[in-house]
Amino acid sequence: MLLTRASEYALLSLNVIYKSDKPIGSEQLSKELNIPKSFLAKILQNLTKGNVLVSHRGAQGGYALNIDPKDISLYDIISLAEGKKPTVFDCVSYSDTCPNGAIGTCAISPFLAKFQFKIDLYLQNLTLKELLDER
């Protein structure tokens, strides 16, 4: 699997936040989407650190979008939510665990790199706007 719950929760949350005209707290999002609150909070905090969301503390606080959905890619959202970039295969990026030695020296490596590149490109060109707008 390429993506985990973190990305799923992030996308579902962004969808709700996008449609709201005022900040929404993690408590409310948690209830509305049936997602564990503390876990969701971490994800929202990550999105805030990456400036996708802006947070307001204190009473009547919550999260709101901090960026035009057309200016943020799925790649960035996923990277923030997961805390790391999405990869098809560890052996594409790390050579020290490859049984065959360093990356680039095995016959498979260039194809995996190309595959990774295609996935990256797709996710980088897919904007949040495209996901959130109704068809």
Partner DNA sequence: TTTAAAATAGAGTAAAATAGTCCTAATTAA
Partner DNA sequence: TTAATTAGGACTATTTTACTCTATTTTAAA
C-alpha dihedral sign at 41, 46, 76, 20: positive
**Residue ranges in 52-91 that form contacts with its own copies under rule CB under 8 A:** 86-91
Task: Give the x/- contact pattern for its own copies in 91-120, rule: CB under 8 A.
Answer: x------xxx-----xxx-xx---x--xx-
| 34 near its own copies, rule: CB under 8 A | yes
Kindly tell me the burial class for residue 79, based on how many C-beta atoms sit within 10 Å of its own C-beta (0-12, 13-18, 19 or more): middle
Closest among 108, 104, 127, 105 to 18, alpha carbons compared: 127
**Residue ranges in 29-88 that form contacts with DNA under rule CB under 7 A:** 35-39, 41-42, 44-45, 48-49, 55-63
Indicate the residue among 97 and 134 with the shorter CB distance to DNA.
97
